[in-house]
Structures are given as structure tokens and as C-alpha cells.
Amino acid sequence: MSSQAPTRQSADATATPWERLSGRLILVQAGLLAAPLGSFLLALAVSGGKADLQVLIALGSVLITFLVVTGIGVMRYLTTRYRIADDRIELRSGLLFRSQRAMSLDRVRSVDLTANPVHRIFGLTSVRIGTGEQTSSAGRRLTIDGVTKAQAAELRDRLLSRRTAAPGRAADDDGLIADMDWSWLRYAPLTIWGVGGVLTTFGTAYRILHEMKIDPLEFGFVKDIEDRYGSVPLWFGILVTALIVIALGAVFSTATFTEGWYGYRLEREQGGTFRVLRGMLVTRSVTIEEKRMRGVELTETMLLRWARGARVNAVASGLGDRDENSKRSMLTPPMPRNDALRVAAEVLSEHESPTLSALRRHPRITLRRRINRALTATVLLVAPLAALGLWLSRTWLYAAGITALVLLPATLAMAYDAHRALGHTLRDRYLITRSGTFARRTVALERQGVIGWNVTRSVFQRRAGLLTLGATTAAGNQCYKVRDVGVAQGLAFAEEAVPGLLAPFLEQAPSHRRSR
């Protein structure tokens, strides 16, 4: 945790000189004007080059913004200092309101390096130093924004030099674990996020044009598309639109994959840390301490699973709050499943990934629960179409019938798949649990990392004799669930995984109830 710098400093700390940010930071701040300047040029182009009042206002806004941003950059450069003195790193900033903060080196859990496109143009990097605490307090991290690459690398090495390797690992295990293979690009389109990105892009563009008093529906090519759609059947137009959106989504996903994972390397460094390097436009360097690893999570989304692909996330403590953990825990991009299993095994220093363990099956009644959900979802989607058919036209009845014929087999297949995915077991020092159909997740969690159990039962679970058992931990998502397991099976599993942790909270059933 960050704290106020002590008023009494040792002689060594006093003698340590303060270091400045790079003077190129001022140019980086000025580069933030690209967006408002682009808006001004667009407004000028739309107005036909006429400098009316609206254009003059835009120009004045750009000039004022330039002065303010440049002034902020100069102030940051002149007032921000940092140094490593004794056993702490200190950061001093501010002109009117001075801020001086210090963080003990023993509490440093991560040193991440990030460089956005503007930073990269000027050879700068942002250094983010975190304690790994899962609080919203700003005191859990220090950010030094605007140092050169050499300064950032030196600072990272100095801050992590005190890290010690995890016990039981040989020094010759250090080195490359995985790096980018461009054949993995085939997995990039196998995600729905690309389609969501396309829809979001179109929606944002429409809103911006609307705010600028420009109606995109009046563009010539838009009218031409509208005329073409009017000359074809409705079902054909919907089909073509869906195919276009899917194709654009695949392109968007591929571009996102390329930008996010370009130059990917996963390394084990001396001193007991893992380092993930990646990024094309925005370069990222994420550090995870090996001694804080509590397991791995193997994620297989539906389309990725069909293509025999998977990706690996770290289950580790000290990665920050939930949002930070989801970003910093990614160890690999989507890759062949066998490669993902190899990475998981190497990260855990095991000969074979624990996620390959044979799992204990869940009661058959869990299949009935998932079939009921599938039937309910189908009815909820088909019923409105059938109602419109009874009220308006038989065409809607035909649509309801076709929808039911398509959805019912699909939802039932997903119900069976979700049931087959359920499982749990113990293997050596790991607790393994698996669930999910849209995104199947297999988690191998160290048993010594389990600090409690969370037992939940819904009304329907109580009627079916089931419960959901959650293993709480300080790492990762903080709770990993064994879903829809039998009551006796689940409680016995918890006691076997961590003996004595759950037993004090259980009540023995009366003998007359057991005899029934």
C-alpha cells in the first residue's frame, strides 16, 4: 500500500538524487490534440471551406485546448520526480497541491510497462507499479508516465531485483515458454466480440454524424443500398445483412487479435517472475510473480472448442481488482488446445496439465435442469411469433414454426453439452472444476490457496437435491464454483479437498431423520 513519505529519511535516501521524466512528454501531451484537430478539419470540410461561426468556434476550441494541454505537459515535466531510495520508491508531483508518495519495495507485486502509439512515436513508456491489493484506493499503485524505454527497463529491473524464485524450481527452467505463431490467426474470427465491435462502430459513427447535423441516411450510397434492399424479399435481405455483419466481425476480430497479440512472448525470468509481452500499436509488458500463482484457467469458447483451440489465464493473487485481473491474467492468445495444455503445465512446473484430469460426473438430474432451461428459452422466443400469427397473419405462425424447428434441436444440444461439461476432481495439490457451454472453463486451483467455502442452493436446487459449491481464494476471480453437485457429494468433496475447513459449520442430521 502506498503511504505518505516519512519525514525523517536516512542519509542514503537523502543522498539519492531525484530523476525527471523525459522532456518528450510535452510533445506527447500536444499529440492529444489530434482528435479535436481532426474534428475541426472535418467540420471545415463539411462546411465547404467556409469559415462560419461554427467553424471559428471549433478553431478557437482547438487553440485553447492546445494551450491548456501544453501547459499541463510542461507542469508535469517540471514538477514530477521519482527515485528509489533505501527500501522504497518515492514519487513527487504537483505545483499548487504537492503530493509526495512512497511505496515499500517489499510490497511491490507488479511492474507493468505500457506504451500507446503516441508514446511509441517519441520513444516513451508508462511504468505502473502495483501492490496487487484489491481495493479502489489510488494508494495501491504508482504510475510514472513519460520515461524513456531505457529508464523504464532499468526501473523495472531494480524494482523486481528483490524477487526470489518459487521453491522447487530449477534455475535452468528460466526462459521462453511460448511466443507468437501466426498460424494461430485462424482462431481470431471465432468470437462474437467482432460482431459486437462492428455494431458498436456503426452506432458510434451514426451518433457522431447526427451530432454534427449530418444525416447518414441521405448519403448517395446509403440510398442506393436501401433501393436494392427494397427490390428483394425480406428474408433474403436479412440473410445478406447477417452474412455481411459476420464477415465484417471476422475482419474486426482478426484486426483486434493482430493488434493485441503482435510480438507475443511468455517468459519465465530469473527471480521467479513470468513476463507477458504483446501489442502492436499499444505495447504491454505484464509481470506476474510465480510464488503468487495459485493455478490456471483453461477457457474454450464454443466456436474455439469446435476448432480444437483454447487459451490460458493465470489464477494468481496480487493482480489487482476484478477488472485489472481480467486484463492482466491472460497468459496466451487463442491457440491450439495441445499448446495451451503445454503452457499450463510449464507455468505450474508440472509434467502434465492438471486440467487433463478425469473428472467426477454430476448427478443425472442436472441434465433435466438444463433441458428445462432449453425448452423455456425456446418457448419464450417462439411464443411472441405465434401470438402475432394468431392476431395478424399466418405468416407469423410459419415463422414461429420454423424458429421452433431451428431452435429446439440447437438448445437441446447445448443442454446436453452443458451437462457433459460439468465435473470436478482432486489431483495431487490441485482442485479441478469445469463447467460452461458457451464458454467452457476448466480451473486447476491449488488446494492450499482455498481459504473458505461458499455453499448456495436455489429453490430449484433444493428440490433437486443439488447445491453449488464455491471455493473462495485470494487469487483470480476469488471464487471458483463446482456447479450443481449433489449435496452429499459436494460436502464430501469440500472436506476431501481441504480437511477440517467446512466440517465445523455442518450440523449432523438427527437420527430419526436419517432412518427415514
Domain ranges of the chain: 193-261, 265-360+422-505, 365-421
Helix H or strand E segment including 88 = strand 88-93
Q: How many CB atoms lie within 10 A of CB 347?
A: 24
Expressed in percent and rounded to 5, the helix, strand and coil fractions of the chain are 50, 25, 25
Three-state DSSP class for residue 275: strand
Question: Hey, which bits of 380-500 come out as E strands?
Answer: 423-427, 430-435, 439-446, 450-456, 466-473, 479-486
Residue with cell 444440444: 413
Instruction: Please tell me the distance from the alpha carbon of residue 185 to that of residue 193, in angstroms, as a whole number.
Output: 15
Instruction: Please tell me the distance from the alpha carbon of residue 170 to that of residue 349, in angstroms, as a whole number.
Output: 10
Shortest CA distance to 265 belongs to which of 195, 201, 175, 351?
A: 175
Instruction: Please tell me the distance from the alpha carbon of residue 140 to that of residue 2, in angstroms, as a whole number.
Output: 6
Instruction: Please tell me the distance from the alpha carbon of residue 384 to that of residue 401, in angstroms, as a whole number.
Output: 12
4-13, long-range: CB within 8 Å, 24+ apart, which pairs? 4/100, 4/101, 4/102, 5/90, 5/100, 5/101, 5/102, 6/102, 9/85, 9/86, 10/85, 10/86, 12/85, 12/86, 13/85, 13/86, 13/88
Torsion of CA 33, 36, 40, 41, to 10 degrees: 60
pTM confidence score: 0.81
Grid cell listed for 185: 490467426
Shortest CA distance to 495 belongs to which of 469, 475, 457?
A: 469
Per-residue pLDDT of the chain (516 residues; tens, 9 = 90+): 444 444 444 445 556 788 888 888 877 776 666 666 666 666 666 655 555 566 566 667 767 777 777 777 788 788 889 988 878 888 888 777 778 888 888 888 888 999 988 888 888 999 998 876 665 555 577 888 889 998 998 888 888 876 555 555 544 556 899 999 999 999 999 877 777 777 888 787 777 776 666 777 777 777 787 777 777 777 777 788 888 888 888 898 999 999 999 999 999 988 788 999 999 989 999 999 898 999 999 999 999 999 999 999 999 988 877 888 888 999 999 999 999 999 999 999 999 999 999 999 999 999 999 999 999 999 999 999 899 888 887 888 888 898 899 999 999 999 999 999 999 999 999 999 999 999 999 999 999 999 999 999 999 999 999 999 999 999 999 999 999 999 999 999 999 999 999 888 777 656 554 444
Residue 280, Cβ density class (10 Å: 0-12 exposed, 13-18 middle, ≥19 buried): middle
Q: How many CB atoms lie within 10 A of CB 251?
A: 15
Query: What are the Cα distances from residue 93, in Å, to 131, 159, 256?
Result: 20, 20, 36
Specify whether the CB–CB gap between 108 and 159 falls below 8 A: yes
